[in-house]
A and B are shown apart, each in its own frame.
Chain A
């Protein structure tokens, strides 16, 4: 059973720049990712928006594997700030998991 943390998305969204909600879930980003990470970014954004904190944290390694190369952004039909959103997730993990 998955536990939902309704406050999670508010904690991740430290600025209006976080726009994961704009993601259409079309999958172009996953298809062209040089890292070939199927999870990033669309699935991880869904987890974040649904408050599935555990699912997000289970994928910490993938979140830090992102190259921030913005190949996905250059092809995103919804112009989501994907790299910036990934950085927001890192910020959350740095603070709440790594205690940095």
Chain B
């Protein structure tokens, strides 16, 4: 028995309207990654996380519960969660993340920030002012709620004097670079993924590796944002021998993650198909560049192939040890 699609989307949209995120978590949780990095507050150029990496540990925990509900009577009771969610944030009850997950995903954003520092890019961070972009609401076709939210995000960026954004994941990049300009008149913010910024800078590796890596392109980066060569250039420059799976670059195979919140079991089946393609290259490790791909394929891989975010691989090679350690996570 599938989960009640309307109730789940309704829950997300209520959250977006009331709490400015489809899956609200505290500002302490969204900004924790930056502790000890001394990133200046605000500025014309800022790193924009869009909360995607920070949300993943909570979404993972929530999907685990949803998987249990998917074929049970309790799935029908999600409408009750929607009712109570108007009074208090039920997401916090549905999703208690593993501490190790939180630490791992925060470290990914730290690595990205440290790579930018290493490349001598000057940037600030909006800390608790930063907002989720509304990507999931857009995908679900909830255009009214999405447009209302996008205007709030744009207004927040303008109030903070932001002119350039350095994004850390494909969905946030796509929303802020390609979707917002179609719905906001006069949108004038320049957006680049950190992979583009690093590739343009010709950052030099501190160490070099000698290993095979299979690359899993993000659908959104490859097909919507034309970000295909940058990750390859950075990996090759680091010494990796980049292997291409059967479906790659603009014809990359989806990880299944986008439907995980509504059809968790089907999402996992799609992920397993992709894992087989990655394993066929005989590489021991695969590079991801999207938090959703990372979470979905890690689960589907069942440790049969190593799954790492590309930033983790790049930080090991391009950053010196002192930067990599940071002060706290």
Contact present for B143 and A98 (CB under 8 Å): no
Nearest first, the 9 A-B pairs at minimum CB distance are A90-B141, A98-B6, A69-B254, A91-B141, A69-B219, A87-B141, A70-B223, A67-B254, A67-B258
- Residues from chain A with a CB closer than 8 A to the CB of B263 are 64-65
For chain B, give the interface size range.
20 to 34
> Which residues 92-146 in B have Cβ within 8 Å of A in the complex?
138-143, 145
Q: Binding site of B, secondary structure by majority: helix, strand, loop or mixed? A: helix
Do the beta carbons of A68 and B258 come within 8 Å of each other? yes
When distances are taken between beta carbons in the complex, the residues of chain A under 8 Å from B36 are none
Q: Is the CB of B219 within 8 A of A100?
A: no
- Scoring A residues 57 to 71 as 1 if CB is less than 8 Å from chain B, else 0, what string do you get? 000110011111111
Binding site for B on A (CB under 8 A): 34-35, 60-61, 64-71, 73-75, 86-94, 97-100
Q: Mask for B227-271, Cβ within 8 A of A = 1, else 0? A: 000000000000000000001001111101011001100100010
CB of A100 within 8 A of CB of B143, answer no
- Count A/B pairs, Cβ under 8 Å: 79
User: B192 to chain A: which residues have CB within 8 Å?
Assistant: none
- Answer whether residue B224 sits at the interface, using C-beta atoms and an 8 A cutoff: yes
Decide: B5 and A88 in contact? CB cutoff 8 A: no
A91 touching B143, Cβ below 8 Å: yes
Residues of B within 8 A of A68 (CB): 139, 258
A61, B5: Cβ atoms closer than 8 Å = yes
B142 touches A69 (CB 8 A): no
Whether A100 lies near B139 (C-beta < 8 A) is no
Q: Is the CB of A64 within 8 A of B258?
A: no
Taking CB atoms, residues of chain B closer than 8 Å to A66 are 259
B182: nearest residue on chain A (CB-CB)? A17
Complex Cα spacing A66 to B219, Å = 13
Task: Indicate whether B301 reaches chain A with its CB closer than 8 angstroms.
Answer: no
